[in-house]
Structure 1
Amino acid sequence: MKRGPSFLAAVILALGAAMFGSASCSQPPIQCVAGHGPFIAKYTLVEGTGTCADLVGEEIGVATFLAPNADGTGADYDARSIAVQSDTFGGLVQEREGLGAGEDDLPYALGAYTTNPDERDLCFAGGAAGTAALAPAELDLPEAEVMDSMGNPITLPARRLRQTWEDLSLYVTAAAPGTQMVGTMTYEDLIEGCSATYTFVALFPAVPCAKAGPDGEPTNEPDDALCDPEGNAAEGRTPSGINPDYRVKCDPTLLYCVLDEPPRAAPR
């Protein structure tokens, strides 16, 4: 699993996204938003073939933004969209930066997002609750010659990938402004000829929780204490930033904090 930079920022810059925050007690009920930063998504395989079926989870960036209103003087708060970009796709785009490859690709899924949470505090995209499908993320990257950090030539292989995000549901309240997401993701490697479909549960923010070794470097052991929303100043642990209303644990495979309870984002 890759643990690269936050790709939410890249999505926002690419789209010119207009982010908006949660409502105060003097404002109307919160509209559909999403956590501003990387989520950690845990995948559960439904069916698949080849290396496409080997995914366990990754960071994903999510951005919501508004369409301009009719006269172009502001935003239309009843016409919003959502973009989803995986760490895998973001890393490949960053790897090929400046090579002129994939400039016409869409490295993030993109489409309409509902405006107001329903009676269960859920917002939808990607075909859920009658919403339109999201355009899939697609990369078509030719083979490229680059130099490594030591100045030696290396060849980056051609990659043709598609990632489809469907049936997205986000839990949105003033206290939890889009910090849980569930849905379905299909990953296709068009060169290898494999495909796999997963369900996923995503939590914001993405918090690594690998136990530190004697040298201070992360190990392969989980540490649930790193998921504590309050932290521990005496032990030098900062708060995780995860909503204290959520029950979480450190996933021993991902080594990220994940939900340890049924997701509130799941439609009931």
Structure 2
Amino acid sequence: MSKRIVTAVALIGAAGIISGCALEQPSAGCIVQDSTDYPWQAVYVLKSGDATKSCGQLKGEALGVWKYVQFTKDEQTQQLTKVGSKLALRPQGLADRFLPYVYEDEALNADGSVKVDEDGNPVMEEKEVDRVEGARADDYKIAKASTALSETLADEPDDKGLCATTGFNSASVTSKAVTRTVEESGETITVVPEETLSYTFTDVKVYSDPSAPGTQLTGTLKYADPECEAEYQVLALWPQVECDVEAFNNPTEANAADRCDVGSGLNPDFDAVCVDGIGPGGAAACVPNPATGVPAFKNK
């Protein structure tokens, strides 16, 4: 069996050389690496807005990215026919608002008085509160409300390898304030104010090529919070990979894996840079080089 396969390949190769024709593989279409196991990592580059205000200070975050394929069913034949695709984007900053907010507060005794330790100091304990009513009881509500979904995603990439989208809905959330009462004075302190955040994505394109199938994307984000609005260029890659800024800035003295290079988990051909404060827990993470844009490759 193996001999026959090898011989067949050799004959096809010889025929191609003799005839001078080029053999091309058919397009795999617009592939998108989804976030089921690993999130994407985005960096936001301010295009317009006040950089001194809260809305102008986004640096980047993890992104949930998924491709959904739509089908219709023929009632007579029961056959499924593909009618289109959509792209879903779920920013971590939005999704996190649906999680319980955890903070430290004074522990209370059964009678409502403040619990103290042997030195008379208040005992502190972690408390958590839902900022969106009923969020913990409804995972679907969280997923739907924190996701921007396109109307379309192209079936085939353009001549630059980019798969275009159209018609994203705005994803937004209003989260209630978290307050605590100071037992001695009865004063109410606001731990976190009420917030309304909104993400609106436009012109999102996913790079899909056999060398990097659906692992980079670019687009525009209009972000609004209670203070103001700002617009950003979005550059993202998959998977999310942490890095070391000092190592990235001193490449001759550091491990390549710490520089978004070989061994990091990324395609070593990516032109990626290390940006602080955008990864898990505020760590540095790898993103497409803003100077290159998407697609970001070292030799393109």
Q: TM-score, normalization: structure 2?
A: 0.60
Pair member with larger Rg: 2
Distance 1:77 1:57 in 2: 34
Matches within 5 A, 1:117-266: 117-125=157-165, 131=166, 133-143=167-177, 157-189=193-225, 192-210=226-244, 225-231=257-263, 240-252=264-276, 254=278, 255-260=284-289, 262-265=292-295
- Aligned partner of 1:47: which letter? S
Instruction: State whether residues 209 and 224 of structure 1, in contact with CA within 8 Å, keep that contact through their aligned partners in structure 2.
Output: no
Residues 157 and 223 of structure 1, relative CA distance in 2, 3 Å threshold: farther
Q: Which residue of 1 aligns with 2:28?
A: 30
Instruction: State whether residues 90 and 148 of structure 2, in contact with CA within 8 Å, keep that contact through their aligned partners in structure 1.
Output: yes
Distance 1:169 1:53 in 2: 23
Instruction: State whether residues 68 and 74 of structure 1, in contact with CA within 8 Å, keep that contact through their aligned partners in structure 2.
Output: no
Instruction: State whether residues 45 and 197 of structure 1, in contact with CA within 8 Å, keep that contact through their aligned partners in structure 2.
Output: yes
Distance 1:241 1:76 in 2: 36
- Give 3-state SS (helix, strand or coil) of 2:56's partner: helix
Q: CA deviation at 1:198?
A: 0.6
Residues 204 and 168 of structure 1, relative CA distance in 2, 3 Å threshold: same
Distance 1:136 1:60 in 2: 15
Residues 187 and 74 of structure 1, relative CA distance in 2, 3 Å threshold: farther
Matches within 5 A, 1:55-66: 55-66=58-69
Residues 158 and 27 of structure 1, relative CA distance in 2, 3 Å threshold: farther
- Aligned partner of 1:85: which letter? R
- Aligned partner of 1:246: which letter? F
Decide which of 137, 155, 163 is 1:115's aligned counterpart.
155
Distance 1:259 1:143 in 2: 36
Instruction: State whether residues 224 and 250 of structure 1, in contact with CA within 8 Å, keep that contact through their aligned partners in structure 2.
Output: no
Aligned length: 211
Alignment pair present for 1:80 and 2:116: no
Decide which of 145, 155, 178 is 1:106's aligned counterpart.
145
Residue ranges of structure 2 left out of the alignment (5+ in a row): 1-22, 101-129, 181-189, 247-253, 279-283
Q: CA deviation at 1:173?
A: 1.2
Instruction: State whether residues 77 and 115 of structure 1, in contact with CA within 8 Å, keep that contact through their aligned partners in structure 2.
Output: no
Q: CA deviation at 1:156?
A: 5.5
Residue ranges of structure 1 left out of the alignment (5+ in a row): 1-24, 126-130, 147-153, 213-221, 232-239
Q: CA deviation at 1:113?
A: 1.1
Residues 211 and 196 of structure 1, relative CA distance in 2, 3 Å threshold: closer
Q: TM-score, normalization: structure 1?
A: 0.67
Percent of residue pairs bearing the same amino acid type: 28
Instruction: Identify the structure with the greater helix proportion.
Output: 2
- Aligned partner of 1:167: which letter? D
Alignment pair present for 1:46 and 2:75: no
- Give 3-state SS (helix, strand or coil) of 1:69's partner: strand
Q: CA deviation at 1:36?
A: 2.1
Instruction: State whether residues 271 and 292 of structure 2, in contact with CA within 8 Å, keep that contact through their aligned partners in structure 1.
Output: no
